[in-house]
Copies of this chain bind each other. A is one copy, B any other.
Amino acid sequence: MTGRGPRGERGEQADRIIAAARRSFATRGYAATSLRSVAQEAGVDPGLVHYYFRGKTGLLEAVMEPPEAFGAAVATAAEQPLPERGRAFVQAALQMWEDTASAEVLRSIILTAAQEPAALQRLRQLFTELVLAVVSHDLPDSERTLRASLIATQIDGMVMNRYIWRVGDIAALPADAVTDLLAPTIQHYLADPLP
């Protein structure tokens, strides 16, 4: 989903356009971003943005695509035995956010989704695909979606405080300490009886 072009020169141009759009959506907002300004910042002709992404909606779709490594990290966590899965999921989330390149993509997805309904819709799909995968398949659907939602609240709150707002002790601790502190909560939401 990085535009129509194949890898190579076209792929590079599409990637530059996506990176410029990400920065602009996250800082100026989706509504205030023009395709012309994205093209200028990416150093390409405005016609190329239309050619690769058809318009602003197509560009938004490309921007909201999570890093491939993110899906892979979550899938690995989901394969762990249930008693270790909570910890594995915290580690997978931290690993993605500690990496500068993937953190920038995720950060842009979060900031854009808070302001733009179409981006929010995509965030909802990601939630269903990714977080739900970590929750045991043996459970009835109603319980799986509740547990996944609870896990999302704890992970997202950590992300907001540590990586977006950079506020409080959670922003300053080493990743291993964060894992030790949050893993019991995620494991509780994943496997303990709930009220």
Which A residues fall within an 8 A CB radius of B?
26-29, 31-32, 110-111, 113-115, 120, 123-124, 127, 145-146, 148-150, 152-162, 164-171, 177, 180-182, 184-185, 188, 194-195
Contacts and interface: CB of A to CB of B under 8 A. Distances in A.
A113 B170 CA distance: 18
Interface of A is mostly: helix
Contacts of A146: 169
Task: Report how many copies the assembly holds.
Answer: 2
Contact of A154 (B115, B149, B185): B185
Given A28-B31, A29-B29, A154-B185, 10 more contacts: A27-B115, A114-B164, A145-B168, A150-B182, A153-B157, A153-B170, A155-B157, A156-B156, A177-B195, A181-B194
A161 to B, nearest CB: 5
